[in-house]
Amino acid sequence: MMIKESFGSRLFDVINILLLLVLSFSMFYPFLYCLVISMSSEAYASQGGFFLYPRSFDLTAYKAVFSTPHLLSGLLNSIARVLIIVPISVFFTALCAYPLSRKDMPHRKPLFLFVLFTMLFSGGMVPIYLLYHSIGLLDNRMVYLVGGLIAAFNVILVRNYFQNIPDSMHQAAMIDGATEWYIFFRIYLPLSRPILATVAMFQTIFHWNAWFDAMIYMSTDSKIVLQAFLQRIVIQQEWQGLRDIYVGLPPEAIKAATVVITVIPILFVFPFVLRHFSKGIMLGGLKE
Amino acid sequence: MSDLVLKKVTKVFGNSVVAVRDFDLQVESGEFMVLVGPSGCGKSTTLSMIAGLEEPTSGEIIIDGQMVNTLPPKDRNIAMVFQNYALYPHMTVYDNMAFSLKLRHWAKNKIEKRVKEAADILELEEYLDRFPKALSGGQRQRVALGRAIVRKPKVFLFDEPLSNLDAKMRSIMRVELKKLHDRIGATMVYVTHDQTEAMTLGDRICVMNDGELQQLDTSLEIYNNPKNIFVGSFIGSPQMNFIEGILEPSVNGSQFSCDLFSMPLANLKTQIKVIDAKPVTLGIRPEDLSTRSKEDTPGLMKGIVDVIEPMGKETFIYIKLNNHRLTTMVKPGKRLKVGDEIELSIDPNHISVFDLKTGVVII
């Protein structure tokens, strides 16, 4: 039998939908704006205003951006950074979270507080710079790995997820003859795919968007990542050289094209991660 | 021969929480031993210590003649079935059952043979390729049993394995467990707080409370001759009736007196000599409290029907008598309603008398 909704309830739904549409559009529009501007000719791009579709179709800005020597190296550095560092980072995050999730781990509380401390307080930029300098990480791509290997927040997320796996699962594996390593690799990691996918996505976004470390620690242009390149174009106005080659190309179009190039790859990651989110984990077990 | 022996086993959590105290237990080969008691009585902790999941603070645990206190769980030759099944959700039924054998590096064909044997016993052949999420609660519990029996361990440990099942499935699985025990003849230690499971499954029952052994005996002996008030009240549903009074000497030996009645204890099969009057608690099972009374019946009382609980084959009647509340059972045909006056009498051959102070049985 259909339950008839009251007028108030329907009005509530309509307002909710409208608000969500406005919110979605406010998030989508900046990206659309960049896409439109990047394809617009000088006349439209410099005119400004509200654009929903390109008034002209001009890919010169993309041609110009791709012609710069460091875009491609930046893109490759960013892709390599994500592909190499994210799996390593997720693994070490889980490895750190596992013992912290075990109730029988000696000194678990102080160790956890130690991890938590690093989330709240950092050593500061200068000491970290000096540290990296002393261990030879300046102008070394390893700095991307060392600097962003483990985030305390992610460790806490994974630890909490591990704690929700019934203890009996661990006990059953112990009785079956599994070692802690075996339990970690064959029981906990497979059961934690949703949280590991979440952490992987957080780390992917973090490493893809990171530009500050490249700017501070890298002195060779070919070692910087894509976002540092974007930062140079947008903030440090490094589009001047392109204007000399591509006469009449509006700076807004160059900046917008660079933004689009840096954003598109990361948009492809989300659908791959999404499918892991919806799956529950404790389908074979029950409440503790 | 005893497959499992616990000698003075004690477990203290932190510095002060004593979960199990000086616990002695001897489980014979092929015996079905049930540890029963209320929540927090230490029965699961005891099982965990036997499994090696908890370390005893003191005492000895001996499995198959070997002291295992320092051995890890995998080397104790035990298997355990958990309350929540603890199946690995990402593995098929076959892989769940084969898990422990794979870890012991068994040959593939041997593993297959053993898993199929277990699946045959538990009627799981058609589910071997399924994942646990595609099974019902009863089937999952059977897989958990299968995972235990593939290894043919010396001792099976069950930690409230039927608690997550509905009442119907629980009774089905109870029968299956009993049949499984008869079939494989293994030594089993079974923890439960459900007295029905304890009574029906156990060759012997070990009643625990506050970390201590209260009574260890067969189910009937525990039911008919509880060693203390706790056992009397815990085993049996509805629970035993208790009436406080005085046990005093009389012409024929002794008699029990309380504010409701006086009753000679001359016909008791176990008679004791009472020299001085002493305060006691009289315990009587609801089925031994008769509603068909004659005027000269000893222990005759009158009360008011307070609550009626029809259970089908019998009806529980809760009766108010002065400050007491007693429970009895009647046939369903008996016409009674709340507020009716009812006469009750006690069968002196089926009573227990406990010391009021210590709670220990006297008669």
**Domain boundary at B189, B207, B234, which?**
B234
DSSP helix/strand/coil, A207:
helix
Q: Which residue among B187, B210, B234 closes a domain?
A: B234
B103: Cβ–Cβ under 8 A, 6 or more apart, which residues?
A176, A177, A178, A182, B74
- Residues of chain A short of pLDDT 50, as ranges, are 280-288
pLDDT at B297: 64
Nearest CA in chain B to A166: B86
Contacts of B53 in chain A (CB under 8 A): 171, 174-175
Residue B160 sits in the same domain as residue B60: yes
Q: What percentage of chain A reaches a pLDDT higher than 90?
A: 50
E strand or H helix at B223, and its extent? Answer: helix B219-224
* Residue B362 within any structural domain of the chain: no
Chain B residues in contact with A276 by the CB 8 A cut-off are none
A13 touches chain B (CB under 8 A): no
Q: What is the pLDDT of residue A282?
A: 43
Distance from CA of A254 to the nearest CA of B (A): 49
Report cis status (omega within 30 of 0) of the bond before B238. Answer: yes
* B78 reaches A (C-beta below 8 A): yes
Confidence of residue B291 (pLDDT cuts 50, 70, 90): confident
Shared domain for B69 and B168, answered yes or no, is yes
Q: ipTM above 0.90?
A: no
In contact, A85 and A144? CB cutoff 8 Å = yes
The total of structural domains in chain B comes to 2
Neighbours of B203 (CB within 10 A): 15
Q: Is residue B344 part of a domain?
A: yes
Identify whether B361 is part of a domain.
Answer: no
Q: Considering chain B, what percentage of its residues have pLDDT values greater than 70?
A: 95
Same domain, B283 and B169: no
Within 8 A by CB and 6+ apart from B345, the residues are B289, B290, B293, B294, B297, B298, B299, B300, B301
Note the pLDDT of residue A246: 75
Structure tokens at B133: 């999420």
B216 Cβ partners below 8 Å, 6+ apart?
Answer: B25, B204, B205, B206, B207
Question: Which pLDDT belongs to residue A4?
Answer: 76
Domain identity same for B197 and B333? no
User: What tens digit of pLDDT does each residue of B7-49 get?
Assistant: 999 999 988 899 999 999 999 999 999 999 999 999 999 999 9
Both B316 and B195 in one domain: the answer is: no
What is the number of helices (H) and of strands (E) in chain A? 18, 0
Answer whether A175 sits within 8 Å of B80, measured CB to CB.
Answer: yes
User: Do B224 and B255 belong together in one domain?
Assistant: no
Q: Is A183 at the interface with chain B, CB within 8 A? A: no
Enclosing domain of residue B282: 241-355
Q: What residue in A sits closest to B92 (Cα-Cα)?
A: A284
- Distance CA(A211)–CA(A78), nearest Å, equals 10
Confidence at B292, pLDDT banded by 50, 70, 90: low
**Domain contains B73:** yes
DSSP string across B276-342 = S-EEEEEEE-GGGEES---TT-TT-EEEEEEEEEE-SSSEEEEEEETTEEEEEEE-TT----TT-EE
In a domain, B295, yes or no: yes
How far does the CA of residue B192 sit from the closest CA of chain A (Å)? 16
B278-284 and B241-250 beta bridge pairing: antiparallel
Residues B60, B182: one domain? yes
Over residues A90-136, the pLDDT tens digits come to 999 999 999 999 998 999 999 999 999 998 988 888 999 999 999 99
Q: Give domain status of residue B270, yes or no.
A: yes
* Residue of chain B nearest A173, judged by CA positions: B100
| Residues B206/B213, Cβ–Cβ less than 8 Å | yes
All domains of chain A in start order, with CATH: 7-58 (no CATH), 61-277 (1.10.3720.10)
CA dihedral A242, A243, A244, A248 (to 10 degrees): 140
The CATH number of whichever domain residue B323 belongs to comes to 2.40.50.140
B95 contacts on A by Cβ (under 8 Å):
none
Instruction: Provide, as residue numbers in chain B, all residues whose Cβ is less than 8 Å from the Cβ of A283.
Output: 89, 131-133
Last-in-domain residue among B215, B234, B253? B234
Q: Which residues pair with B27 in a beta bridge?
A: B4
Do B50 and B34 share a domain, yes or no? yes
B235 versus A2: which is more confidently predicted? B235
Q: Cα(B208)–Cα(B137) distance, rounded to whole angstroms?
A: 28
Residues B304 and B213 placed together within one structural domain of the fold: no
- Contact of A174 with chain B, judged by CB distance below 8 Å, is answered with yes
B80 touches chain A (CB under 8 A): yes
A279 and chain B in contact, CB less than 8 A: no
Give the lowest-confidence range in A147-161, A197-211, B285-299, B303-317: B285-299
* pLDDT at res. B150: 93
**The amino acid at B18:** V
Count CB neighbours of A130 within 10 A: 12
Sign for the pseudo-dihedral over CA of A260, A265, A268, A269:
negative
Task: Give the pLDDT score at B295.
Answer: 57
For residues B46 and B26, membership in a common domain is answered with yes
Tokens of A77: 């550095």
Cβ atoms of B173 and B162 closer than 8 Å: yes
User: What does the pLDDT look like over B172-231, one tens digit per residue?
Assistant: 889 989 998 998 889 999 999 998 899 999 999 999 999 999 999 999 999 999 999 999
Minimum CA–CA partner of B97 in chain A: A176
pLDDT for the residue B272:
63
User: Which pLDDT score, from 0 to 100, does residue A44 have?
Assistant: 72
Residue B113 forms part of a structural domain: yes
- Quick one: which H or E segment has residue A25? helix A7-38
For residue B360, being part of any structural domain is answered with no
Confidence at residue A285, expressed as pLDDT on a 0 to 100 scale:
43
Question: Which of these, B242, B261, B265, lies nearest to B303 by C-alpha position?
Answer: B261
Q: How far is B190 from chain A (nearest CA, A)?
A: 16
Which of B74, B80, B89 shows the shortest C-beta gap to A284?
B89
Instruction: Residue B55: give its domain's CATH number.
Output: 3.40.50.300
Q: Are residues B229 and B88 in the same domain?
A: yes
Dist. CA A49–CA B297, nearest whole Å: 105
- If asked whether residues B146 and B263 sit together in one domain, one would say no
